[in-house]
Amino acid sequence: MTVTIPPPNPRRHPSPFSPSFGTTPAAVVGIQEEVNLFARALDGAIRGRAMLVTGPRGVGKTVLLNTFGEVADSRQWVTVREQASPGVVQRLTEARLPQLLEDLDAAQTSTSSTVGFTLPVIGGGLTARADSTNPLTPDLRHRLMQALDILSAHGTGLLLTLDEVHRTNVGELRAITDAVAHAVSQGAPLAFVAAGLPATMNKLVNDDVSTFLRRAERIALKNFTADDTAVALRHPIENAGKSIDADALDTAVEASENYPYLVQLIGDFAWEAAAEAPVITAEHVAWAVEQARPALFRQIHEPTLAGLSDRDKDYIFAMSADDEPSLTREVAKRLGVSIQHAGVYRSRLIIDGVIMESGRGKVEFAIPYLRDFLRSESARR
């Protein structure tokens, strides 16, 4: 059968949910305390201008970075965003900061009395521009201080965010934190926030990448409360012109287990199931949960499993034999090792946010439906 392209439906409203990484959902919940801390930092508080954000996949690290960018914008601070992938120092030195300097220069030229700048967020799709008036090649510290000097003169500052920090890129992270630490030591108006998985961030701090990182504020993101989950589901639906009945909302909240990414998945599929109906029902939500599960397998469970050591994988596969929280002594017995030896794997998995303690001598999965995934054929390929 040949493929046919369905015609667009002009009466269908797009989903108000964002089940994709790097996007900010319509209703941001569960991070008010962190946002308040960062806002106070930009307003002059000592704490909070250097932060390390950790948490397992799908709990909203990038959403928090994006929201911090909105806080910076509300204070007329400029934001430079980057992924901490290989080449990040070069991109900052040769593209992002030169672009920022050009924008600042243009702003100064057009308005001599500006306090703060109305500038786009810098990051993505920029090309390097050579500084033809300077025969030397400026390094990251020089570029950063150039921008900060101009911003400081106009009573504003710079937020630099690094997402997807990974321990394989320690050298570049050290170069960035050295430049940031120098700027901070000079009293420059700079805020720095880096985000990554718990094991990565712990290793970077413990391996003494920089004293600056060890002194940074630590934020460990976790699941929503049930009330926040209900708000994250109900508000986007209502603001987009539909409603969700009470039973459907209760079912969606329970099925999501308050896991932020799964909340977006269930909301998106429930919206799709409702089609042109004005009310999302429990039937729509039931279908959404069934559709969300394999999507969660692909987007969260598979990369989580791929990032674990073989022995850590053995530990969670041993846990998957239980329908309820697992006794740590039974898991150790299944692995054929002592409780103390198995405790090494247990501790790593807890730090990574894969499992969590569930009473004395018990552990359970921290990621929804991970047990189901581990029992599936796809997990054993």
Which domains, from first to last, does the chain contain? 32-220 (3.40.50.300), 226-299 (1.10.8), 307-380 (1.10.10.10)
pLDDT tens-digit readout, 10-20:
657 899 999 98
Q: What percent of the chain has pLDDT over 90?
A: 74
Radius of gyration of the chain (CA): 24
Mean pLDDT computed over 40-44 = 94
- Listed in order, strand segments (DSSP E) in 128-273 are 158-165, 190-196, 217-220, 243-244
pLDDT tens-digit readout, 270-292:
999 999 999 999 999 999 999 99
Is pLDDT at 194 greater than 60 in this prediction?
yes
Interstrand relation of 190-196 and 50-54 (parallel, antiparallel or unpaired): parallel
Give pTM, 2 decimals: 0.86
| Alpha-carbon span 125 to 248, nearest angstrom | 42
Q: What is the pLDDT of residue 3?
A: 87
The pLDDT confidence band at residue 116, using thresholds 50, 70 and 90, is very low
Query: Helices 170-185 & 140-153, crossing angle to 10 degrees?
Result: 40
The pLDDT confidence band at residue 109, using thresholds 50, 70 and 90, is low
| Alpha-carbon span 141 to 180, nearest angstrom | 8
Mean pLDDT computed over 327-349 = 96
The pLDDT confidence band at residue 117, using thresholds 50, 70 and 90, is very low
Is pLDDT at 370 greater than 80 in this prediction?
yes
